[in-house]
Amino acid sequence: MNSSIVYLVGAGPGDPKLITLKGLECIKKADVLVYDRLVNSQLLSYVRPDAELIFVGKSPDRHALSQEKINEVLVNKAKTGKIVTRLKGGDPFVFGRGGEEAESLFNNGIPFEIIPGITSAVAVPAYAGIPVTHRNLTSSFNVITGHEDPAKDISSINFDKLAPGSGTLIFLMGMGNLSLIVDRLVEHGRPSDTPIALIHRGTTPEQKILVGELGNIVAKAEEANLKPPSVIVVGEVVKLRDKLKWFEKKPLFGKRILVTRSREQASILSEKIIDLGGEPFEFPTIKIVPPDDYSKVDTAIEKINQYEWIIFTSINGVQHFFKRLRYLNKDIRQLIGIKLCAIGCKTKEELESSGLIVDYTPGEYRAEAIVEGFKNENVSGKRILLPRADIAREVLSQELKEMGAFVDDIAMYKTIPGDVNVGFLKELLQNKMIDIITFTSSSTVRNLVEMLDSKDLTKLLDGVCAASIGPVTTAAAQEFRIKVDIEASEYTIDGLLKAILEKTERENHND
């Protein structure tokens, strides 16, 4: 049975969360993903590792592939029995040339489905605080292409009918013809003082909005050097923006934040940044991998009932410990009678998710606080297991040994440099496109410095705000003469974000 099919999917206007559930399903099951320039790259992370990705992006000045070639790609890939997902910005049937692609598939006997997307014609104005209709202002809107087929002899846009009306006019792909659009509207009866808004990269943290009137918007756009992609909104509804704008009010709106955590953990911080209006750039400077040799780990697990305490210093330690426990065909019943200590509320939660009760969590989330707490516990002669990273600080192990404990400090996992595009990172820093760098451990600091390998690190990081998760990480940054502007008082991701928000709020208040 031939299972080939082509899904023509609308990816939405830019915010990756605005894709439909069905659209996301089609991305996940695709054998081949054919995608456009305006598709948010975060959506590509849902593609199967073995899927083929084909970029066919178009821009005003160049096309990766012509429309005819794109049609051929869809047909040819489907004929090999593949599930093909054609991912298009916005909605495939709103100036997305989805109709042409569907016709080509039909003519070649290829089954297809249309998965509508949220069109930028409605979503982008909404993110700018501009409703396309309003009961007291207008009950209609028109969506018009701002970029007609250049081969056409006569325009199919009836400005003589559009201009005199009271409905909202929304032009897509029109920045290159802004002057012409404005002239035609005024020429055919739309007053020159009619409100107009230009919305650049709407629904994303890069969103910029320019408001004016038909009579002055061209000069304003030239002065602001506003570029495509931008949505043009014409009508009285633009006046509601001052009351209804909401997206730009998010506390981290417009902030570009470098996330240096491991790839597995980066998404947690990135999601929170996005929710707060910021734009995360993920550059995992560290990668969490299994140890080179499990012999010490396995020996510790085989004699696990000899330990009085197990101290977990991170979520990674918990996850790798229990993964190995299961591999050795054991479970939490092996931990009967053993007391558990966890550094940090998230590490504690990870243990509790397995049905375990944590006996001790220090108020301050670092090794020194554990030592202080254990001074009230008679650990002399007791065995303590420390399953943690291979590069963890030795202070905890040493202090416990000085208190008379027998400590098995074993590498539960390794921290190695992550796989990142260093050239792109340097380009971002040199062009001053990063506002904040987050450091969540000493290793994220050290690895970033090694990756940048810059003779003038201070100059490269000039103007960038460094945010540290706690004093140990701060000390590592200071070793490399990196000025730390933000330090979390609670050594967690939420604590780090709270500290960033507090500083941002102070800056906005001073402005």
Rounded mean pLDDT of 340-356? 91
Which residues are within 8 A (CB) of 63 and not within 5 positions of it... i.e. 6 or more apart? none
Rounded mean pLDDT of 274-297? 90
What does residue 199 show for φ and ψ, rounded to 5 degrees? -115, 110
Sorted by where each begins, the domain ranges of the chain are: 5-118, 122-249, 256-285+418-510, 289-416
Residue 154 has pLDDT above 70, yes or no: no
Residue 150 has pLDDT above 70, yes or no: no
229 cis-preceded (ω within 30 degrees of 0): yes
The pLDDT of residue 63 is: 60
pLDDT tens per residue across span 23-66: 999 999 999 999 998 898 889 989 998 999 999 986 655 566 88
pLDDT tens per residue across span 5-18: 999 999 999 998 99
289-416 fold? Rossmann fold (3.40.50)
Residue 182 has pLDDT above 80, yes or no: yes
What are the counts of helices (DSSP H) followed by strands (DSSP E) for the chain?
Answer: 19, 22
pLDDT category of residue 1 using cuts at 50, 70 and 90: very low
The pLDDT of residue 511 is: 62
**Residues 371/341, Cβ–Cβ less than 8 Å:** no
The pLDDT of residue 58 is: 66
**Higher per-residue pLDDT: 441 or 265:** 441
Average predicted confidence (pLDDT) for the chain: 91
Asked if domains 256-285+418-510 and 289-416 share a fold, the reply is yes
Between CA 257 and CA 278 the distance in angstroms is 7
Could you tell me the CA-to-CA distances from 206 to 252, 358, 427, 455, 477 in Å, in that order?
12, 43, 18, 31, 29
* Burial degree of 502 (CB within 10 A; 0-12, 13-18, 19+): middle
Packed helices 315-327 and 345-352: angle between N→C axes, nearest 10 degrees: 30
Three-state DSSP string of 163-209:
CCCCCEEEEECCHHHHHHHHHHHHHCCCCCCCEEEEEECCCCCCCEE
Packed helices 98-107 and 67-79: angle between N→C axes, nearest 10 degrees: 40
Residue 378 has pLDDT above 80, yes or no: yes
Between CA 451 and CA 421 the distance in angstroms is 10
The pLDDT of residue 89 is: 93
CA angle 86, 90, 67 (to 5 degrees): 50
pLDDT category of residue 101 using cuts at 50, 70 and 90: very high
The pLDDT of residue 64 is: 67
**Domain 122-249 -> CATH class:** alpha beta
Question: Domain 256-285+418-510 carries which CATH code?
Answer: 3.40.50.10090
Cα atoms in the 13 Å half-sphere on the side-chain side of 231: 28
Q: Look at residues 31, 34, 37, 36 and name the one whose alpha carbon lies nearest to residue 49.
A: 31
pLDDT category of residue 239 using cuts at 50, 70 and 90: very high
Residues serving a catalytic function are 36, 58, 173
What secondary structure letter does DSSP report for 494?
H
Q: Work out the end-to-end distance of the chain between its first and last CA atoms, rounded to an integer number of angstroms.
A: 65
pTM (2 d.p.): 0.78
What does residue 81 show for φ and ψ, rounded to 5 degrees? 90, 15
CATH superfamily, region 5-118? Tetrapyrrole methylase, N-terminal domain (3.40.1010.10)
What secondary structure letter does DSSP report for 380?
T
* Burial degree of 232 (CB within 10 A; 0-12, 13-18, 19+): buried
Between CA 255 and CA 153 the distance in angstroms is 45
